[in-house]
Amino acid sequence: MANIVFLGAGSVVFTRELLADIFGFPELTGARIVLHDIDPERLETAEALARRIADHFGARPTIVSTLDRRAALDGADYVVNAIQVGMYPATQRDFEVPARYGLRQTIGDTIGVGGIFRGLRTFPVLAGIAADMAQLCPDAWLLNYTNPMAMNVTYLAAVAPRLKVLGLCHSVYWTVQGLCEIVDVPYEEVTYHSAGVNHQAWILRWERDGTDLYPLLDKAVAADPELRRRVRVDMYRRLGHYPTETSEHSAEYVPWYLGHDEEIARLRIPVGDYLRVSEENLAEYAACRRAVADGTALDIERDTTEYAPQVIHSLETGTTRRIVVNIANRGHVTNLPDGFAVEVPCTVDGVGVLPEKVGALPAQCAAVNRPYVSVGELTVAAAVTGDPRLVRQAAMVDPNAAANLTLDQIWALCDDLTRAHGDLLPEPLRAAVPL
């Protein structure tokens, strides 16, 4: 039976969703579930929650919890990674320090200075996970949900090239769901094709019965001024392909919006939104912990949209599915650099995972992706080589930072964030960088 390990299991709301989907598959109700977290209280809550979910579905899994990562990984078949290094205090620093320089961010977890430093404090933990897996479960799949997704997958490909890694994100699915709602077409009746990078891929084809649905979207946008007040609708109208992440995310990956008060107002951009989301997550965790402790009712519903349970089920049963994954580019997208993670469709079944060769993206879409890729490449290179100058250079080429700060400000900001995060960062990257 499948041996499924959750790293960062203390993210109990997400763990609840994944376990509900896993136990919703009859073939997985007897799985071995191993929960790991570094926070004893969160781990205790996760274990109690897992047992409640299993009872809800009539499942009879083996459930183990441990603070020892190596013990958790020993003999794993699947490792679901949902860690957040530094938790909410680190996220606060990622927003508050740049804000002192006047740099606006919305989510700060993908590129930008927030994404750069989130990646840098995550990479050492990923390196440890990869080393442990090489010793204890070399054939296991690492199913990564941790952001910055593209940087993390790229880093793992560089330091652990034999590790079987899939980066999983539901943004494409929810983008198409939202588009279908706009044009009043059932999601189940459409086909679509997307490719690009995580949080900035593109809907290349979207059809119903072989008919292109983009003209219906054009009519809806033309008829509704409020639709035109979305960042990604604005990007779609100018670039011709719809981006696959929310407007909040999309606004900070490009140089066009966050530096202009009038654009923030026109497009209703929620500056600093991830701080609010993080606080809500903390409150939701507290509520979940109380409910588990009190034995009160929990919202346990099978969602079926998350990819990790689907991947596990397909590999275990041979059920064929077509999903979207993040993998190191090996010619899958020909006009983006090899080695950096791209988000492409793939087929998963009992044989394995087969990513599709997409070919070239539309030239304008690849052009928007390349600055994103450059930030990630330099950040990963900084961690691999231990060169702190590369951290500053990654921030220099970031579209949002470059559009709003001087070079001296960018370097000073990186100095401040380095001091703020301290020993969460790799030791070589804590060194001062004189000009």
Task: Note whether residue 143 is domain-resident.
Answer: yes
pLDDT at 14: 87
> What is the SS3 assignment for the chain?
CCEEEEECCCCHHHHHHHHHHHHCCHHHCCCEEEEECCCHHHHHHHHHHHHHHHHHHCCCCEEEEECCHHHHHCCCCEEEECCCCCHHHHHHHHHHHHHHCCCCCCCCCCCHHHHHHHHHHHHHHHHHHHHHHHHHCCCCEEEECCCCHHHHHHHHHHHCCCCEEEECCCHHHHHHHHHHHHHCCCHHHEEEEEEEECCEEEEEEEEECCEECHHHHHHHHHHCCCHHHCHHHHHHHHHCCEECCCHHHHHCCCCCCCCCHHHHHHCCCCCCHHHHHHHHHHHHHHHHHHHHHHCCCCCCCCCCCCHHHHHHHHHHHCCCEEEEEEEECCCCECCCCCCCEEEEEEEECCCCEEECCCECCCHHHHHHHHHHHHHHHHHHHHHHHCCHHHHHHHHHHCHHHHHHCCHHHHHHHHHHHHHHHHHHCCHHHHCCCCC
Residue 26 resides in a domain: yes
Would residue 308 count as lying in a domain?
no
Q: Determine whether the annotation assigns residue 152 to a binding site.
A: no
199 is an annotated ligand-binding site residue:
yes
At 100, which CATH number? Answer: 3.40.50.720
- Count: domains in the chain: 1
Handedness of CA 328, 334, 336, 338 (dihedral sign): positive
Per-residue pLDDT in tens (0 to 9) along the chain, 435 residues? 899 999 999 988 889 899 999 999 999 999 999 999 999 999 999 999 999 999 989 999 999 999 999 999 999 999 999 999 999 999 999 999 999 999 999 999 999 999 999 999 999 999 999 999 999 999 999 999 999 999 999 999 999 999 999 999 999 999 999 999 999 999 999 999 999 999 999 999 999 999 999 999 999 999 999 999 999 999 999 999 999 999 999 999 999 999 999 999 999 999 999 999 999 989 988 888 888 888 777 777 777 788 999 999 999 999 999 999 999 999 999 999 999 999 999 999 999 999 999 999 999 999 999 999 999 999 999 999 999 999 999 999 999 999 999 999 999 999 999 999 999 999 999 998 988
Question: Given 36, 56, 170, 193, which residue is catalytic?
Answer: 170
**Contact, 149 vs 167, CB < 8 A?**
yes
The answer to whether position 186 is within a domain reads no
Tell whether 75 is covered by a domain.
yes
Q: Are 345 and 324 in contact (CB under 8 A)?
A: yes
Is 414 annotated as ligand-binding? no
The verdict on residue 92 lying in a domain is yes
Judge whether 83 lies within some domain: yes
Query: The domain containing residue 162 runs over which residues?
Result: 3-168
Q: Are 64 and 57 in contact (CB under 8 A)?
A: no
pLDDT value of position 305: 80
Question: Is 56 designated active site?
Answer: no
Q: Give the residue from 114, 82, 81 showing the smallest Cα distance to 274.
A: 114
In a domain, 153, yes or no: yes
